[in-house]
Amino acid sequence: MTSHPAQEMHDHGTRLHGEYKVPGGKLVVVDLDVHDGLLANVSVSGDFFLEPDEALLDINMALTGLAVTSSAADIAAAVGAGLTDGAVLFGFSAEAVAVTVRRALSKATGWADHQWDIIPPSVLPTPVNVALDEVLTEEVGAGLRNPTLRFWDWEEPSVVIGSFQSVRNEVDPEGVARHGITVVRRISGGGAMFMEAGNCITYSLYVPQTLVDGISFADSYAFLDAWVMAALEKLGISAFYVPLNDIATDQGKIGGAAQKRLANGGMLHHVTMSYDIDADKMVDVLRIGKEKLSDKGTRSAKKRVDPLRRQTGMARAAIIGAMQEVFTERYGAVESALTEAELTEARKRVDAKFGTEEWLNRVP
């Protein structure tokens, strides 16, 4: 019978160790052994706050005896059940403990567990950019490419709608014709993006889903963009997430994120931020409904978007450069490039899928 990797490590006398920094919270650390496929000698620690003191022992006891095959949800449930009424966890949660345990067991990964690549901006047709998101996500899921950060670039004015959006409800055909807009549908959900050359900063992260194992769908957005917040802070911009997927400052929304998880274990996290958007043209092309505006607390779509150019006074290339620099420093990333095979495959998918009326109008 094949032994579990965690069991093998224990048999060689090595304690298993996992760490997880809660986004906006504290560090959680777990050290444990594995005996006969069960967690043993569990010790949770960290710079979090916990009341009463005895609750730490309750957490350790709740984890002891759990199977190494327990899901993140099962582990979190066990921790929650083991706490007494009135116990207060500040800066962490039962779910954070579960992520840390899964990392110790090598079932979840952290940023430092991967070799990261960065693909700098290169001008490509918008349909090819969209197709590459599918191609590269599949490759990372299959282990054929390192986890990768790719910055987009393009020339033609475009609208990229979310996977589940209605073309009819999102795009004004007269505005599209008048401004020569290319309309394409991406694989991730979320809202429509109005993109002219140089008016946005768009990037895609292709990661294994192990990186967000045990992290809720909502929390994964902020987790995957923590480096961006640090880069913006370095540029003098204090940005924050507005649930579920908007990135904003006190002066307004600057961007939005979208995700797609594939069956092979790959995951796409996609972000577009407004750099120097033409708000008049945007509202001429997009149908931005009153219901959406009311939810955002504003009457005008123009007021929703506050471009980075005005907030920073910096060139778009300089902002992208600062983002690449922070990502490289944090995660030891190295510069990479798209291969000819990847570009060829993306172009094939444009012909077969992303450039077709059937795909564009799959939600009419």
pLDDT tens readout for residues 214-261: 999 999 999 999 999 999 999 999 999 998 899 999 988 899 999 999
Q: Return the ∠ at Cα 160 (arms to 177 and 363), rounded to 5°.
A: 90
Q: Quick one: pLDDT band at residue 305, thresholds 50, 70, 90?
A: confident
DSSP assignment of 278-342:
-HHHHHHHB---HHHHHHTT-S-HHHHB--HHHHH---HHHHHHHHHHHHHHHH--EE----HHH
> In whole angstroms, what is the distance from residue 119 CA to residue 121 CA?
7
Separation of alpha carbons 112 and 107, rounded Å: 14
Q: What is the pTM of this model?
A: 0.91
Taking CA atoms, 20 is separated from 44, 101, 103, 275, 281, in Å, by: 11, 9, 8, 33, 44
Closest by Cα among 359, 75, 95, 48 to 223: 95
Structural tokens at position 192: 């429509």
How far apart, in Å, are the Cα atoms of 113 and each of 35, 149, 210? 25, 16, 10
pLDDT tens across 126-173, in order? Answer: 999 999 999 999 999 999 999 999 999 999 999 999 999 999 999 999
- Work out the number of other CB atoms within 10 angstroms of the CB of residue 190: 23
Tens of pLDDT, residue by residue over 6-51, are: 444 444 458 999 999 998 899 999 999 999 999 999 999 999 999 9
How far apart are alpha carbons 42 and 65 in whole angstroms?
A: 9
